């Protein structure tokens, strides 16, 4: 996957969440998660940062011992800017790193794999936050299809947005019950 895919995923989520930035529901649960909508958005920014650091440092046996802490007084509108910024950080890092480089994410993962992981985080948690805010939204099919192709090669056929949500345990898919656990396969 490419940095443009990540930029498109962030733009799609900002398009749906941006108008909700002043809504009071950011302290409510994000979909079925235990985290609030605000905490889930901060988690997305954290993971995008962690992925960028992995790409830069290329550790082979685990994640770097660092966490992004977003100040608790940051309003949702600024938190969305943090997500945009951390996505650009990951994209810039991936572009500047040789495609042959590998870093740990449950195995050796190339920069494109970290971009795919970032897209997955943005799209899936964007869905969670939208649900928590009472907005009906699904990940765009072209982006979801690209994430499925890279991270979930055993995904069943169907609407890509719905299949991605099923692969990540968000909903049932036809006769397939909701997944209780899942692991994206980013290692290359």
Assess if residue 178 is contained within a domain: no
Identify which of 56, 51, 53, 57 has the alpha carbon closest to the alpha carbon of residue 151.
51
Residue 166 confidence (pLDDT):
98
Mean pLDDT of successive 10-residue stretches along the chain, which has 188 residues: 97 98 95 97 98 96 93 96 98 96 94 98 98 97 98 96 98 95 90
Q: Could you give the CA distance from residue 19 to residue 8 in angstroms, rounded to a whole number?
A: 17
Residue 73 confidence (pLDDT):
95
Residue 106 confidence (pLDDT):
87
Assess if residue 86 is contained within a domain: yes
How many structural domains does the chain have? 1
Assess if residue 188 is contained within a domain: no
Identify which of 136, 133, 137 has the alpha carbon closest to the alpha carbon of residue 22.
133
Residue 15 confidence (pLDDT):
98
Assess if residue 182 is contained within a domain: no
Assess if residue 105 is contained within a domain: yes
Assess if residue 175 is contained within a domain: no
Residue 162 confidence (pLDDT):
98
The 3-state secondary structure of the chain reads: CCHHHHHHHHHHHHHHHHHHCCCHHHHCECCCCCCEHHHHHHHHHHHHHHHHHHHHHCCCCCCCCCCCCCCCCCCHHHHHHHHHHHHHHHHHHHHHCCCCCCEECCCEECHHHHHHHHHHHHHHHHHHHHHHCCCCCCCCHHHHHHHHHHHCCCCCCCCHHHHHHHHCCCCCECCECCCCCCCCCCCC
Assess if residue 163 is contained within a domain: yes
CATH number of the domain within which 74 lies: 1.20.120.450
Residue 170 confidence (pLDDT):
97
Q: What is each CA distance from 94 to 51, 102, 131, 157, in whole angstroms?
A: 9, 11, 31, 30
Assess if residue 79 is contained within a domain: yes
Identify which of 68, 38, 35 has the alpha carbon closest to the alpha carbon of residue 51.
68
Structural domain for 132, as ranges: 3-167
């Amino acid at each position: 996957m490419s940095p443009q895919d990540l930029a498109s995923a962030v733009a799609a989520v900002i398009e749906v969440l941006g108008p909700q930035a002043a809504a009071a529901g950011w302290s409510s649960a994000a979909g079925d998660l235990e985290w609030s909508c605000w905490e889930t958005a901060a988690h997305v920014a954290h993971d995008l940062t962690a992925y960028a650091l992995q790409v830069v440092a290329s550790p082979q046996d685990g994640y770097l011992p660092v966490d992004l802490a977003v100040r608790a007084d940051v309003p949702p509108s600024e938190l969305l800017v943090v997500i945009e910024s951390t996505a650009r950080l990951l994209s810039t890092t991936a572009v500047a790193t040789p495609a042959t480089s590998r870093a740990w994410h449950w195995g050796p993962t190339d920069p494109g794999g970290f971009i795919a992981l970032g897209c997955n985080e943005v799209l899936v948690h964007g869905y969670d936050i939208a649900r928590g805010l009472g907005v009906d939204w699904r990940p765009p099919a072209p982006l979801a299809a690209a994430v499925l192709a890279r991270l979930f090669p055993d995904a069943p056929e169907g609407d890509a947005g719905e299949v991605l949500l099923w692969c990540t345990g968000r909903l049932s898919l036809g006769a397939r019950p909701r997944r209780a656990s899942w692991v994206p396969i980013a290692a290359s």
